[in-house]
A and B are shown apart, each in its own frame.
Chain A
Amino acid sequence: MPWDLVIFYMLAGVCILAAGGVVAASNPVHSAIFLVICFFNVAGVFVMMGAEFLAVIQVIVYTGAIMVLILFVLMLVDPENLPEFHQGRPVQRAVGVLLGIILLLEVSVAILNRQVIGVKGNATAQAIDAVGGNTQALGRVLYSDYLFAFEVVSLVLTVGVIGAIVLALPERLGLKTLPRRGTISLGHGKGIDAEAIAMGPVEEMPMQPVAKDVIPKATGGRRLVMVKDPDEHTGAK
């Protein structure tokens, strides 16, 4: 029994079903969960191809970090604010389905008539084992031949992170930051507390006396009884 093939079909099958689930799920969080399942199976396929390092990195980076952050955003979205599913005029929907089918046919024709041209690389199984495994092979190539590309990619990522932070700074959004008090911060140090900021810095806030009718009487009109003896108003006496 060719176990390799069975396992590959299982992995690929679940992956495709999960990918279908991403598109078909009505709840975005369910879509994200299906995508995670899909990525996990792709990592399995990587392992089958002998690229274990890539598989583990796929799980750590893509599934374990990027999807978690995407889920953060998706979970904070109110389901009622999402666009309606299956919306649109019937003509639009029919054209959409037609285009999808045409694309599927094109891709199938391309796959079935493929010819592999090009030179096989020198990363044969023996060459990889000679340097000690796929991690070492990747490391050798990445840090020697492709070092420049590696550095450029890290620079791009750094710029992205800095850009995101700069875009979200409170000063940028037009709000003043509160001056930090010397005491325990209530978490509003640089926070977006619109009313407090509109009132100005801390020292200038005047004490406003509260009008008597603003705070309702706590008792609501009931008679307040101060009881000193627990048995006084029960039936135990």
Chain B
Amino acid sequence: MNVLLVGMAYMTYYERKVLAAMQDRMGPTRTGPHGLLQPIADGIKLLGKEDLIPKAADKPVFFFAPLIVFVTAICSVAVIPFGNQITVFGEDIQLTIASLNVGALFLLAFSSIGVYGIILGAWASANRYSLLGGLRSAAQVVSYEIILGLSLVGIFMLSGSLNLGDIVHEQQRALEIGPFSISNWYILSQPLAFVLFMIAAVAETNRAPFDLPEAETELVSGFHTEYSAFRFSFYFLGEYIAMIVISLFASTLFLGGTDGPGSDHFGLGILWLLLKTVLFLFFYIWLRATLPRFRYDQLMGIAWKVLLPLALLNIVVTAAVRLATN
């Protein structure tokens, strides 16, 4: 968890640097060498700001709402398989915190609970614009959750299990294409599901180009308008952790997780997983830098009219192919 928190802080740094490079400028360079101490400076600033609570706000709910987002995002990491088993000082340690046999759904469940952080925070702010922004955001997240789940059904059909460790094992088997033998990563057998998952993942975390509830209403307000200082940072960093978790999830499901040369013998599996995660995070930042954002009705229209039928089509085709080849 410590790694995750530090990773999340430096994710902000990574994002600023990459966005800057894409926009032909430099990003943070002054705090520390190459701006590496920037997240620490941001943290100190956020801790030091005054904590304002609106008078009409509902205090217990106001207090807990950002925590829900933060905590559920961190808890989701419990099911990601970071490897098989290592022996440290004579003790066997499993590198997966909780190898549940419904692992993939566990992650989806926790991201469903994360919606409450948004919606309760919006309501507790006693601010009409917050409420509307929060409701929009929650509606967006709930719609894209459906697509997230449905796009994974194809993978569950191919691997026969919801356990993420099993899914990684299935992808480590060899796939023969002509004279080549590569790992059976699901991105090759489920390309449509991969595209749908990436789109839904970007929308789930309220990131560009789907960040209308955060950005446009931010011009007026947004669901986190009444949150200052550390509470705001809970929302903000919770979003980054959710990004990291979904990138880990995507690398596990589609790119084979800890699979890669040297992962069996030299224990380099976790390095490969981190590399793939960083690749997905780069993709997230790339989308943010490049695409304009969707208008809210376009966003919801795409989810229900385009992506949902495509996800169902993916399920039907996968099932048909599996039936035909068995």
Q: What are 11 pairs between A and B in contact, CB < 8 Å?
A: A27-B58, A30-B61, A56-B105, A57-B105, A59-B112, A60-B149, A65-B145, A68-B115, A68-B138, A132-B161, A135-B101
Complex interface: chain A residues within 8 A of B108 (CB): 56, 60
CA distance A176 to B119 in the complex (A): 33
CA distance A55 to B109 in the complex (A): 10
Given A56-B102, A64-B145, A132-B161, check contact A72 B115 (CB 8 Å).
no
* A72 touches which of B61, B135, B145, B149 (Cβ 8 Å): B135
Complex interface: chain A residues within 8 A of B122 (CB): 75
- Measured between C-beta atoms, what is the minimum distance from A57 to chain B in Å? 7
- Measured between C-beta atoms, what is the minimum distance from B166 to chain A in Å? 10
* B residues lining the A interface (CB < 8 Å): 58, 61, 100-102, 105-106, 108-110, 112-113, 115-116, 119-120, 122-123, 131, 135, 138-139, 142, 145, 149, 161-162, 297
* B138 touches which of A59, A72, A187 (Cβ 8 Å): A72
- Measured between C-beta atoms, what is the minimum distance from B160 to chain A in Å? 8
Which residue of the partner chain B has the closest CB to A56? B105
Asked whether B115 lies within 8 Å of A29 as measured between CB atoms, the reply is no
Which residue of the partner chain A has the closest CB to B106? A56
Complex interface: chain B residues within 8 A of A56 (CB): 102, 105-106, 108-109
Asked whether A60 lies within 8 Å of B109 as measured between CB atoms, the reply is yes
Interface code A16-48, partner B: CB below 8 Å = 1, 0 otherwise? 000000000001011001001000100000000
Asked whether B105 lies within 8 Å of A68 as measured between CB atoms, the reply is no
Given A29-B123, A33-B61, check contact A68 B131 (CB 8 Å).
no
Complex interface: chain A residues within 8 A of B120 (CB): 29, 33, 71
Asked whether B102 lies within 8 Å of A63 as measured between CB atoms, the reply is no
Asked whether B162 lies within 8 Å of A72 as measured between CB atoms, the reply is no
Which residue of the partner chain B has the closest CB to A51? B102
- Measured between C-beta atoms, what is the minimum distance from B63 to chain A in Å? 12
Beyond the given A59-B112, A59-B113, A69-B142, please list 19 additional residue pairs across the A-B interface where CB-CB is below 8 A: A33-B61, A52-B100, A52-B101, A53-B102, A56-B105, A56-B106, A56-B109, A59-B109, A59-B110, A60-B105, A65-B142, A71-B123, A72-B119, A72-B135, A72-B138, A75-B131, A75-B135, A76-B135, A135-B101
Complex interface: chain B residues within 8 A of A69 (CB): 142
Asked whether A60 lies within 8 Å of B112 as measured between CB atoms, the reply is yes
Which residue of the partner chain A has the closest CB to B119? A71
* B123 touches which of A40, A75, A134, A185 (Cβ 8 Å): A75
Given A29-B123, A75-B119, check contact A187 B297 (CB 8 Å).
yes
Q: Which of A136-166 contact B (CB under 8 A)?
A: none
- Measured between C-beta atoms, what is the minimum distance from B80 to chain A in Å? 16
Asked whether B142 lies within 8 Å of A68 as measured between CB atoms, the reply is yes
Asked whether A63 lies within 8 Å of B113 as measured between CB atoms, the reply is yes
Complex interface: chain A residues within 8 A of B109 (CB): 56, 59-60, 64
Asked whether B105 lies within 8 Å of A53 as measured between CB atoms, the reply is yes
- Measured between C-beta atoms, what is the minimum distance from A50 to chain B in Å? 11
CA distance A172 to B58 in the complex (A): 38
CA distance A33 to B124 in the complex (A): 12
Complex interface: chain B residues within 8 A of A55 (CB): 102
CA distance A134 to B161 in the complex (A): 11
Asked whether B119 lies within 8 Å of A64 as measured between CB atoms, the reply is no
Given A60-B112, A64-B113, check contact A52 B138 (CB 8 Å).
no
Interface centre among A53, A64, A133, A185 (most CB of B within 10 A): A64
- Measured between C-beta atoms, what is the minimum distance from A71 to chain B in Å? 6
- Measured between C-beta atoms, what is the minimum distance from A107 to chain B in Å? 31
Which 7 A-B residue pairs are closest in the complex by CB-CB distance?
Answer: A64-B112, A59-B109, A56-B105, A133-B101, A75-B123, A60-B109, A56-B102
Asked whether A63 lies within 8 Å of B123 as measured between CB atoms, the reply is no
Given A53-B102, A53-B105, check contact A63 B112 (CB 8 Å).
yes
Which residue of the partner chain A has the closest CB to B105? A56
Complex interface: chain A residues within 8 A of B112 (CB): 59-60, 63-65, 68
- Measured between C-beta atoms, what is the minimum distance from B154 to chain A in Å? 16
Which residue of the partner chain B has the closest CB to A57? B105
Complex interface: chain A residues within 8 A of B58 (CB): 27, 29
Given A68-B138, A135-B162, check contact A36 B116 (CB 8 Å).
yes
Which residue of the partner chain B has the closest CB to A187? B297
Complex interface: chain B residues within 8 A of A63 (CB): 112-113
CA distance A69 to B116 in the complex (A): 11
- Measured between C-beta atoms, what is the minimum distance from B190 to chain A in Å? 20
